[in-house]
Every structure is written in C-alpha cells, then in structure tokens.
Amino acid sequence: MSDASLRDKRVIITGAASGLGRALSVMAVEQGAHVALMDINASGLEETVGMLGDATVVSIVADISDWNSVEAGVKEAVSGLGGLDAVCNVAGWDEPGRFWEQPLDFWEKIIAINLWGTLYMTRATVPILMEQGAGTIVNVASDAGRVGSKGETVYAAAKGGVMALTKSLAREMAPYSVTVNCVCPGPMMTPLLQAEMESTPKLIEKLVRAIPLRRVGQPEDVAALITFLASDAANYMTGQVISVSGGLTMVG
C-alpha cells in the first residue's frame, strides 16, 4: 500500500512564512519530509524554520512574482535538498475591496502573486520532474475562484487561472508520471482573515452561520489534504480541484 506520509520526500513549499504555508511546513517535517521553504518575508521564514527542530530545511527568501528570483530560488532548493519530489504552491495574497475602486497596480500585484507566481514556480520545476519521470505539484487556489466572492473579484480571477492551469498541466504532465492537483480552501483562520475581522468584527459570526460544520477552517485542515496529495498515496489522482471549506461550497 502506498505511503500517505511525506517520509523522505524532498518538498518545496512557498508562502512558508505564515498561515497555511507555515502549517504545511510543520506537518511535512513531522511526516519526515526534507523541505525547502520559500517566502518574501525573511523574518517570518526564520520563525517557521525555528519551529522545525533538526529537520533538513533549506530556507530561501524569494519573490515568487519575479521570474529571476524564482529561478534562483528553485536552483538553491534543489541543490540543498539533493533533488525534488513535490512542489507545493501555497503562497498567495489578497486585500478585499470594491472591484471598480481598486487601482490597476493593485490588480497587477494580485495577479502577479496569485497567478504568475504559480506559473513561475511551475515553469522552474517541471523540467526536473519530467526528466526523472516522477513527482507531484499541488497548487493552492481558493473557493473564491470556484464560486465567486464579493470583494475579491480579481483575486477570484487569478485563482480561477490556477485551477485551469492545474487541469491543463495535469494532461501535459501525465505522460511523464507527474501529477498536478489543486486545493481550494474556504474561509480559513489566517493572518489575512484575522486582519479582516479587526475591521469587520461580525464577519466571523456570519461565516460560522454559513458553514455547515459551524466553524472557520484552521490551516492544519487544509495542510492535511496537501500532504496527502503530495504523497505516494495520491499517485492515481491528477487534474483534480478539491475544496476544503467545512461544507460551505459543495461543487459537483
């Protein structure tokens, strides 16, 4: 039976300085993975590394919205890990607001981080996985991209692109035995949501009432699915988009 853990897997995780990326980093190391952590936030990245004990960790400060930074970061990661088995594209960013009031440079930032970042990371890593004829990519999109989200129109568009990327790339990579899947978190207790709650105190109450399981997700809820998809136990799954939302979104 295939191992559902990440034991001895060499894994790149983006967005590792906080939130879901940090939770995934901790969970992957607990399962025995060797990890390369990437984030633009140097101090947050250092905090995450400090939580990982004696594990094999390569820490890389990189801007995923910049191709040169990504290319250099991936080379450093693969060199430090001695190879590559899985890529987890977790990094993302948003700041809700009215579509028609947001300046164009804000849109560009949203798309650069949430879509171009995933494209860059994928472009930098797929040649390695293709050459060895094995490996997996797990992208993180959002339920905003599946069903829409008020105040997150451009973010939803970018995440919709990540889902489309996942499906098309899965078809291209299948002949090389490389799988590509996508996780769509629903409302999750991250620094971004906590910041929203400060400006909109009743937001959490409304969310909880709308979620069938009656709680907002924790990063660990989503990290558990990502580790499964990156493991050998999921090696017959590819091109799938899966929500983790407490039942808030039920998409057929």
4 located within any domain:
no
Name 228's Cβ contacts closer than 8 Å, sequence gap at least 6. Answer: 4, 234
β-strand partners of 89: 139
Q: What is the span of the domain harbouring residue 48?
A: 10-186+218-242
Catalytic, out of 120, 155, 176, 236:
155
Is the pLDDT at 235 greater than 90? The verdict is yes
Cα 133–Cα 134–Cα 136 angle in degrees, nearest 5: 140
**Between these two residues, 29 and 2, which has the higher pLDDT value?**
29
Domain count for the chain, please give it: 1
- 127-138: average pLDDT: 98
Structure tokens at 215: 């709680």
- 168-178: average pLDDT: 98
195 located within any domain:
no
pLDDT at 15: 97
Phi (first) and psi of residue 244, to 5 degrees: -130, 95
121 located within any domain:
yes
Name 220's Cβ contacts closer than 8 Å, sequence gap at least 6. Answer: 23, 27
Known catalytic membership, residue 236: no
Where residue 144 falls among pLDDT bands split at 50, 70, 90? confident
pLDDT at 57: 95
Give SS3 for 232.
helix
206 located within any domain:
no
DSSP letters for 128-151: HHHHHT-EEEEEE--HHHHH--TT
213 located within any domain:
no
- The 10s digit of each residue's pLDDT in 7-43 is 999 999 999 999 999 999 999 999 999 999 999 999 9
- The 10s digit of each residue's pLDDT in 195-230 is 777 777 777 778 788 888 888 889 999 999 999 999
CA atoms within 13 A on the CB side of 181: 21
Give the other-Cβ count within 10 Å of 135's Cβ: 25
100 located within any domain:
yes
What CATH number is associated with residue 79? Answer: 3.40.50.720
Give the other-Cβ count within 10 Å of 144's Cβ: 24
Using only the alpha carbons of the chain, give its radius of gyration: 17
Using CA atoms of 76, 123, 146, 111 in order, give the dihedral in degrees to the nearest 10: 80
- 125-141: average pLDDT: 98
Chain position carrying tokens 């191992």: 3
5 located within any domain:
no
pLDDT at 252: 66
3 located within any domain:
no
Average pLDDT, the chain: 92
